[in-house]
Each structure stands twice: as C-alpha cells, then as structure tokens.
C-alpha cells in the first residue's frame, strides 16, 4: 500500500485503521512545508484495511499493481483476495469446520496449526520457515491443500521458496495432522522454535471427542504443563453425510 | 483459518460471545448448499444475533440483512449471538431443520457443551487455542487484544480501538456506537459489537486520552 504524497493532506485518519499499527509516519516536505503521511512499504502486509475504511477524502491511498512475490502479501493478509499464486482457494483448509463430514482428522490423530503472525504482529516467511523446519525434522507431513504449504520449495524439509522469505504477511498457517502419540514431541519442537522467531504465532489443536465429550488431548497437555484456554471452537456434528469413523 | 478460535478475554466477558459459522464441505455437500445456508441465516436472524455476515458481502453493519439474504454466497455463513438461551434455541431450531450443513460455534467450552446438551446435540470435535508464542511483547496490551482478536483475520486495528475509547471518553460517541464502528472492518461478521461496547465502557476508566 502507498500514499501519494502530493495528494495526502496529512490528516492521519487512515493510519488508525492500520492492522499493524504505527507503520506510517508523518513527514514534512522540506520545500513546501506541507505535512504528509508515508507508509513503510517494507513493513506493510497489503491487507487493504486502511483503503477499505474509506476515510481518505483526498484519494491519496492506493494499492500499486504489485508483482510476484509481493503478491503473496495481500493473498495472506486480505480475506477479500484469492490465493492465485498458490492455486489454493480460500485461506487454508476447512480444518475442524467440516470434520464430521470429511473425516479428515480421525480418532487417534490431532490437527495442529501454527498461525504465524497472529494476532496483530505479522510474520516474515523466514520466521515461518524456522517453525516449519523444526516440525519437518520430526517427519510431520504438512497439509498439502494449504496455501502456506504450496509456498514451500521442499515440504520434506520445510524450506520455503527463496524469493518469498522476506515477504511479510498478516498470518500464514502451518498446518498438519499427526498421530496423538506424536503430540508431545511436536509441541516441544514448537516451543523450541518459538524462542528463535521475531514474531508471534498462535497454536491450534483439533481433537475428535470421545463418548461423554471426553477430550483425549487434555491429559497430555496437562502433563506438558501447557496452558489451555477455557474457550475455543466446537464442531456441533450437525453436517450430513457423516463421515464413517475408521 | 480458525478465525473464531483465538478470542482473548476473561471467563466473565467471554460468556456472552458465541460466534458461529455454517458451511458446506468441498467435494461432499457443497453442491446445492446455498438454500440451506440461507435457511441457516434466516434461523440465526430470528435469535437476536449481534452480527451476521459473509466475507464476500461484508457484515450486517455494512450490508443490510435483506441484501445479505438475497445475495448470500456459497461460502461460510457467519452469525454471532450474545446470550446462552438464544444459542440453545438456535441450536434446537437448526437441528430440527436438519440442514445437513456443518455448524461450528466458539465460546467457553463448558457453556457450549451445556447448550448442546439442552438442544439434544452431540458435538463431534473441539479445537483448543494453545495460546500465543514468540515475541508476545510485540502484541497490543491485553485489554486492546480482547477487542482486536474478535476479528480472526485481524482487520480490527488497535489504533481504531484507541481512537474510539478516546471518543467515548470525550462523550462524542456511546460505547454501543463505538462497538458498531469496530465491527465494520471485520468482513465476515464474526466481531461481537455488544461485547466490544461492554469492554470499551470498562476501559474508559483505564485509558487516558492522548492529544496527538
Ligand atoms: S495495507 Fe494494511 S498493513 Fe498496509 S498500511 Fe494499510 S492497513 Fe497497514
Ligand atoms: S487519510 Fe488520506 S489524507 Fe489522511 S493521512 Fe491518510 S492518505 Fe493522507
């Protein structure tokens, strides 16, 4: 995203809509003394929120026609933009949302994701790669129908395409399905990788319920002293046709 | 994206927040899903939703309900309720309608299990948030994050929250109006403006107004 400095009236309204906060600075043109705002284009993730807010009466904000690899920024940051480069529709997979129909995650397995950059910080692919490589060393298989996986040069090692490494996005999801027994090793690797990144990420864990609404992952999480939020997400099982549990 | 999973807050202020989405599964029941998604939207509309939406059309504060209903797309259909009894009634009605669409709801697990039980529904799976790792000092403070995390795509900016707290403090806007302004950038309509209003009202005592 850019601001046309000649049009900008220096009001600062758009900057309050910036999802990352504080990535635009106020400058004064030394020749004319006029105030204008300038977006730090290297930090901007092209989410488009400032533009969609429609607060710029001067018409100074604009999204340039960026080329690859810059285009991955809006694809991962703006929910109104499709993933053309990765050839995957939507943001990620349907994960828990349709699991009773698809049976993607079965009993004895868990779905686990690292939502890199989330919340409100953003992440560069070189940091996303650090987490992916730590997981790849455990032999996990990344979800093939996930746009983040499609940007990997080698899903066996978790290496990304060199040209995207410096691109920054609002969030990109590293996603996998693993046997429940592998969960402690995977969570330990995630904790280790977290120490080496210059961003934040959220961790998600999907579990099929046992009879009586028992949650088989909870004892493991307790043994790892991993804090669990009292709130989360639930698939109510109302979808049809129901998947056959293997 | 698990965009309703990572809402931050206290058990007390999360107990009036039930974002949900109905959606078809690609390759399974996607074809012919639109009338069923519309039926879900109509059911949700009858149970006092504080938000409704579709990522392509926007939420109910930028697109009127009738337009949402008429132009709904075959994607994820979102609604947010703010009351457990409304949720139980909605669940019972969706079950009776036998739409066959997957329905995912977020909230406090104990509350969700209880509402499903009352509505005669056996839930299938849960997704836990295992928290935020990495350089968490780069995140906005907890109070601001309780509001911004209500949009899972992170479209609600911390700067906007701060500005609206200032406006409410100066009497230029009510907390309810601020909640609706904050709901607008969240395209899908999973942001809960009623909870945001309650939080902003609380924060007026905590935040000072800075003059830029
Ligand atoms: S496009 Fe997004 S990240 Fe870039 S300046 Fe606008 S709001 Fe901020
Ligand atoms: S809203 Fe427009 S005029 Fe105001 S600072 Fe932003 S670009 Fe400049």
In this model, does residue A85 exceed pLDDT 70? no
How many CB atoms are closer than 10 A to CB B16? Answer: 17
Contact flag A17-B129 (C-beta cutoff 8 Å): no
- State residue A236's pLDDT score: 95
Comparison of pLDDT for B146 and A80, the residue scoring more: B146
* Kind and range of the H or E run holding B79: strand B77-81
Cis peptide before A92 (omega within 30 of 0): no
CATH 3.30.70 location in chain A: 2-62, 81-223
Residues 136-155 of B with CB under 8 A from A: 136, 138-140, 145, 148-149, 153-155
How do residues B75-114 score in pLDDT, each as one tens digit? 889 999 999 999 999 999 999 999 999 999 999 999 999 9
Query: What sign results for the dihedral spanned by CA atoms B91, B93, B98, B99?
Result: negative
Q: Which atom of ligand 2 is nearest to the CA of A9?
A: 3
What DSSP designation does B21 have? E
How do residues B47-57 score in pLDDT, each as one tens digit? 999 999 998 89
3-class secondary structure, B208: coil
Nearest C-alpha neighbor of A124 from the set A161, A86, A169, A162: A169
In this model, does residue A3 exceed pLDDT 50? yes
Distances in Å between the Cα of A186 and the Cα atoms of A95, A173, A193, B5 are 18, 16, 11, 20
Fold of A2-62: Alpha-Beta Plaits (3.30.70)
Cis peptide before A69 (omega within 30 of 0): yes
- State residue B203's pLDDT score: 87
Contacts of A16 in chain B (CB under 8 A): 157, 159-160, 162-163
How do residues A203-245 score in pLDDT, each as one tens digit? 999 999 999 999 999 999 999 999 999 999 999 999 988 877 6
**Structure-token pair, residue B35:** 């009338």
How many CB atoms are closer than 10 A to CB B29? Answer: 21
Nearest C-alpha neighbor of A238 from the set A95, A96, A98: A98
Q: Which residues contact residue B69 at a Cβ distance below 8 angstroms, ignoring those fewer than 6 apart? A: B38, B41, B42, B45
Q: What is the CATH number of domain A81-223?
A: 3.30.70
Contact flag A19-B123 (C-beta cutoff 8 Å): no
Burial pattern A88-112, b for ≥16 Cβ within 10 A else e, equals bebbbbbbbbbbbbbbbbeeebbbb
């Amino acid at each position: 995203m850019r601001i046309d400095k000649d049009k900008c009236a220096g009001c600062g309204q758009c900057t309050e809509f910036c999802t990352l906060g504080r990535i635009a600075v106020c400058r004064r043109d030394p020749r004319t003394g006029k105030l204008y705002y300038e977006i730090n284009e290297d930090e901007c993730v092209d989410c488009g929120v400032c533009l969609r807010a429609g607060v710029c009466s001067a018409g100074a904000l604009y999204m340039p026609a960026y080329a690859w690899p810059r285009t991955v920024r809006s694809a991962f940051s703006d929910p109104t933009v499709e993933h053309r480069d990765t050839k995957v529709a939507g943001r990620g997979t349907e994960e828990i949302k349709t699991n009773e129909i698809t049976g993607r995650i079965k009993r004895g397995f868990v779905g686990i994701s690292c939502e890199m950059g989330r919340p409100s910080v953003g992440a560069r692919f070189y940091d996303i790669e650090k987490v992916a490589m730590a997981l790849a060393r455990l032999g996990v298989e990344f979800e093939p129908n996930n746009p983040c996986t499609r940007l990997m040069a080698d899903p066996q090692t978790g290496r990304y395409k060199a040209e995207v490494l410096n691109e920054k996005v609002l969030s990109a999801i590293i996603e996998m399905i693993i046997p429940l027994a592998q969960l402690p090793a995977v969570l330990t690797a995630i904790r280790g990788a977290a120490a080496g990144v210059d961003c934040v990420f959220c961790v998600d864990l999907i579990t099929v319920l046992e009879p009586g609404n028992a949650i088989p992952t909870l004892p493991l999480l307790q043994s790892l002293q991993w804090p669990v939020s009292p709130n989360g997400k639930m698939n109510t099982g109302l979808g049809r046709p129901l998947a056959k549990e293997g | 994206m698990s965009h309703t999973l990572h809402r931050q807050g206290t058990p007390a202020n999360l107990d009036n927040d039930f974002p949900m989405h109905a959606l078809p599964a690609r390759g399974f029941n996607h074809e012919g899903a639109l009338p069923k998604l519309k039926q879900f939207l109509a059911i949700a509309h009858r149970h006092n939703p504080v938000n409704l939406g579709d990522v392509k059309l926007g939420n109910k504060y930028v697109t009127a309900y009738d337009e949402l209903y008429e132009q709904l797309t075959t994607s994820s259909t979102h609604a947010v309720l703010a009351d457990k009894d409304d949720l139980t009634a909605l669940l019972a009605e969706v079950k009776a309608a036998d739409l066959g669409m997957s329905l995912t709801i977020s909230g406090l697990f104990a509350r969700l299990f209880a509402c499903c039980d009352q509505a005669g529904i056996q839930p299938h799976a849960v997704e836990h948030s295992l928290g935020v790792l990495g350089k968490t000092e780069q995140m906005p403070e907890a109070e601001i994050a309780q509001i911004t995390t209500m949009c899972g795509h992170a479209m609600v900016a911390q700067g906007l929250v701060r500005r609206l707290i200032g406006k409410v403090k100066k009497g230029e806007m009510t907390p309810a109006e601020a909640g609706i302004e904050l709901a607008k950038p969240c395209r899908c309509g999973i942001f809960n403006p009623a909870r945001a209003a309650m939080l902003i009202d609380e924060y007026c005592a905590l935040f000072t107004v800075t003059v830029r």
